[in-house]
Structure 1
Amino acid sequence: MAYPVESLGREYVVVTYCKNYKCQFAVVATKNTTKVSISLRMDQINNVVFRNKTYTNGSLLQVILKRYQTLQIQSKGDLTGTRIESSEAIAVFAGAPLTPMYEDNSTSIVYSRDHLVDQLPPVSSLGSVYVISPFPNTMSEDYIRIVVYKNTYVQVDGVLHNITTYDRYRQFLLPAGRHTIVTSGSPVLVAQFSQSTSDTTDYGDASVAIVVPVGSWRSEYVFSPLNFIDVFSNRSTYVSIVTTTSCMSDVLLDGEPIASKWIENAEYAHTSFDLYGTKHHLSVKKNTFLLVDSCS
């Protein structure tokens, strides 16, 4: 997803994940003489080298950027929790090149890996209520990272956890087959990761999606799915929709009710299905979350 300039901000908190390669993020200025201050967070054994100077955990890196100039920061370790402030609106992207995603104690051989990248929302767009639907077409559980901007508590499906800025984040393995509800005392950033899989019946690359808070859901979307024309005949583009349970029958895709099965509880419902074509229109009476992605 790419955000328009008018939705950018001046404060960001970073989420990254890298298993075997470098974690990274990029800052893009929208105006000349943009002053950027980066409070780096990383493990004590890692560092960032910029203009022949070494920065470690807790260091402040400052730079002035011209309009459309880009600053890229890389580290061999996780940069989650890094805070960015600027004098003008900036765009921030985060990810990692060609990385797998799996449990640290996993004993299986993991073959699949992919480039992870997504644009980050500013702190002003973060929320306190999230509904996370599982990535479809896989039997593996997803992970989420909940990143804090200040000390707060979070509830994951009703279970309470405290997260401090010293902790930076908490990572959770989500149950398969149903959506998960996350609430917090203060706005947080939530990133969802699909696991790498090497099983011949469940092969898929790692991927990442920044979860949209319920407060930012919309009642109408126009979107275009990816249409693969290549040797990977098992690739598909899917759509995931999350709405309130009371609105399931009101969701219309290209003017028609959704034909796929909804998975619901007392408050929210979600559904996923493959979709092709060049342009689609989703509408509903009340605000809804839409995710368009691809998988293999």
Structure 2
Amino acid sequence: MLGCIKNRETEGEVTFELSFLNVDDDDARVYISNYTEQTRNFTLQSKHVYTERFDTAVEVIGSTLSRKGIKVESDRHLLVYGSSRYNQYGLGGFVSLPISHHGYLYYIVTGDVHGEVLIVGVWPDTKVEVKLHLTSDVITYNDTTYINGSAITETLDEYHTMQIYSTGDMTGTEIRSSEPVSVFTGSKLIGTYPTTNHMVDQLPPLNLWGKTYVTVPPPGYIYTCKLTSGSPNTIVTYKCDESWEDFLVLPEAGSYQTIDFNKAACLLSSNEPILVTMIISKYTANPAMVIMSPLDDVTGEFMTYVPGMLVSAQLVIISNSSITIDPNRPLLSTVCPGHLDYCITYLDNLIGNQTYTVSSQSESFVAAGFVYGRISTWKAACYSLFYRTSGKAPLPRQQEDPRVFDNMTTTVLPDTIEGSASNIVTTKTMNLNKTCLCYNYKKNNSKEIANLTQMLKETLFVNPITTNKYIRSLTSAEDPRTSSKLPMRDTHLEYLFMH
């Protein structure tokens, strides 16, 4: 479930594109729908990319509630790349998370100024609470003023888009929901004029954060790192050189610190999961944001895509194994700093609108990274290589958090919204295939299912005669009373009575 966040200060025509990469071995059937439940559908060949361009009607405008969500459904595993461009004024991009990776608990990360967040409804009657953490004095939502520490509550249905603006930093703002939601975050303005840009990325929920990261910029660039905690007393250790390491403490859930790592490659580890966000720039030019994926296990190979909007792109891959790129590209360099225990591979001058396959000599390896590219001297965007796959799955639906959602207020929307319809709307209404929401699944044969079932039975079985309850049942409590004693038999008296 997606949304086009209005991440720009200037006015002008917006170009919003979604690029669909079919990484499956079979052709995919893809459906795109908006709140009118009308669809655009097409077949996408295996290992191919299709790009759909939307008009300005999809852009979410204002700090308010609207119905501008975009749903993508498919019967195969897709990677979906979002790109937004505003004439010469800016560029932003993200790799979308499938619905299976949406969650109930988020902590926002934005730039230092002009922070914003967009929450997209996935399920009907979803109760949402946004507890604000602001550097600005106040914000306005639905014509109501809110201060730092206050909470905004709302009820979302599918396709609803709840957007909140701030003039300052919103990092640390907490989002809780009764059903999984999709969350986009960013800033309408970063950098120093005339090299300003906007930035956007899709937030992973807390259950997809990690404890081990490697951060590094593309060659010739610098970066700052914003570290956000999801638990109290989070200790983050970072090592950017063999000769030293340092640490910091994030005392509360939602606490954050920004560190200027400049050009250094750094290894970050923590005792609790953290969110790591890089803001990459060429000193004062090309600022772009990417939420880093933690180092994660990869089996076999993975594909990535360089969006067609990018004029010049670079690929940065962190891995514990030697990798190869197809189509074959000359590697700019591969370095293996001793303080990282990982190697960093750089590729330069990548071709836009091109897919690349990354593989290793090892069947299973650890990897993370991103694609960084620009469309002009000043404007750039960054895309994570993939979303994390080994995090905990969200709780089942309808497990509502009891700590929130009392005395909820609801914004009532009109049945129709003024303005022209998006070009995804067609005159034909389709019944969508709701069996697979861009979910990456694996088909198990009957033998694998039987083995898994037997393993679960053996793991979960408890022998009743080994329990404390059963052992205690064999021992009677001691009773000191005389009447409870079994009397000794007097055989002599028995003989007399019998004779």
Report if TM-score (shorter chain) is over 0.5: yes
Residues 183-209 of structure 1 deviation map (CA, whole Å, 9 limit, x = unaligned): 1111011100023645xxxxx321100
| Paired residues for 1:1-296 under 5 Å | 1-19=95-113, 22-43=114-135, 45-100=136-191, 111-138=194-221, 141-151=222-232, 152-157=234-239, 158-165=245-252, 168-176=255-263, 178-195=264-281, 197-198=283-284, 204-215=285-296, 220-227=301-308, 235-244=311-320, 247-248=321-322, 251-254=323-326, 259-266=331-338, 267-274=341-348, 275-276=350-351, 278-284=354-360, 285=362, 286-295=365-374, 296=377
Offset, 1:256: 5.2
Distance in 2 separating the partners of 1:196 and 1:213: 24
- Cα 1:190–1:135 change in 2 (3 A) is same
Gaps of 5+ in 1: 102-109, 199-203, 230-234
Decide which moves more: 4-13 or 166-175: 166-175
The AA in structure 2 aligned to 1:293 is: Y
Contact 2:173 2:254 in 1 (8 A): no
Tell me by how many angstroms 1:227 deviates. 4.0
Structure 2 CA distance for aligned equivalents of residues 209 and 119 of structure 1: 9
Q: Could you say if the C-alpha distance between residues 126 and 218 of structure 1 is closer, same or farther in structure 2, counting changes exceeding 3 Å?
A: farther
SS of residue matched to 2:354: coil
Partners of 1:189 and 1:237 in 2: CA distance? 25
8 Å CA contact 2:174–2:254 kept in 1: the answer is no
Q: SS of the counterpart of 1:220?
A: strand
Question: Which amino acid is 1:164 matched to?
Answer: P
Aligned residues: 268
Q: Note if contact 1:148-1:168 (Cα within 8 Å) is conserved in structure 2.
A: yes
Partner SS, residue 124 of structure 1: helix
Letter in 2 for 1:253: I
Conservation of the 8 A alpha-carbon contact between 2:171 and 2:254: no
Counterpart-to-counterpart distance in 2, 1:254 and 1:279: 9
CA–CA distance in 2 between the matches of 1:180 and 1:289? 13
Q: 1:258 to 1:9 in 2, by over 3 A?
A: farther
- The change in CA–CA distance for 1:269 and 1:49 in structure 2 (over 3 A counts) is same
> Are the equivalent residues in 2 in contact too, given 1:112–1:196 (CA < 8 A)?
no
Relative to structure 1, the CA distance from residue 205 to residue 120 in structure 2 (aligned partners, 3 Å threshold; closer, same or farther) is: same
Larger radius of gyration: 2
- Specify whether residues 132 and 255 from structure 1 end up closer, same or farther in structure 2 by C-alpha distance, changes over 3 A only: same
Take 2:163 and 2:282, find their aligned partners in 1: how far apart are those partners? 26
The CA distance in 2 between the partners of 1:206 and 1:183, in whole Å, is 26
Q: Distance in 2 between matches of 1:41 and 1:241?
A: 33
Per mean C-alpha deviation after superposition, the further-off stretch among 150-159 and 72-81 is 150-159
In 2 relative to 1, CA 216–36 (structure 1 residues): closer, same or farther, beyond 3 Å?
farther
Structure 1 residue 282, shift from structure 2 partner: 0.9
Change in CA separation of 1:93 and 1:185 when aligned onto 2, cut-off 3 Å:
same
> Cα gap change, 1:126/1:166 in structure 2, threshold over 3 Å: closer, same or farther?
closer
Q: Does the 8 Å CA contact 1:81/1:168 hold for their aligned counterparts?
A: yes
Q: Report if the CA contact (8 A) 2:230-2:254 is conserved.
A: no
Given the superposition, is the C-alpha separation of residues 225 and 6 from structure 1 closer, same or farther in structure 2, using an over 3 Å criterion? same
Tell me how far apart the structure 1 counterparts of residues 300 and 289 of structure 2 sit (CA, whole Å).
Answer: 24
Per the TM alignment, residue 259 of structure 1 is displaced from its structure 2 partner at its CA by 3.2
1:73 partner SS? strand
Instruction: Find the residue that maps to 1:87 and give its secondary structure.
Output: strand
- Deviation string, structure 1 residues 21-50 (Cα, Å, up to 9, x no partner): x2101100111111111111012x421222
Between the aligned partners of 1:216 and 1:41, the Cα distance in structure 2 is 34
Cα contact 1:217–1:289 (8 A) shared by 2 = no
Structure 2 residue runs without a partner (length 5+): 1-94, 240-244, 378-499
Contact 1:17 1:96 in 2 (8 A): yes
CA contact (8 A) 2:130 2:174 kept: yes
**Is the contact made by 2:231 and 2:254 (CA closer than 8 Å) also made in structure 1?**
no
In structure 1, what residue type is equivalent to 2:96? Answer: A
Q: Distance in 1 between matches of 2:197 and 2:329?
A: 35
Deviation at 1:272, TM superposition (A): 1.6
- CA separation of 1:287 and 1:58: change in aligned 2, threshold 3 A: same
Partner Cα distance (1:84, 1:218) in 2: 33
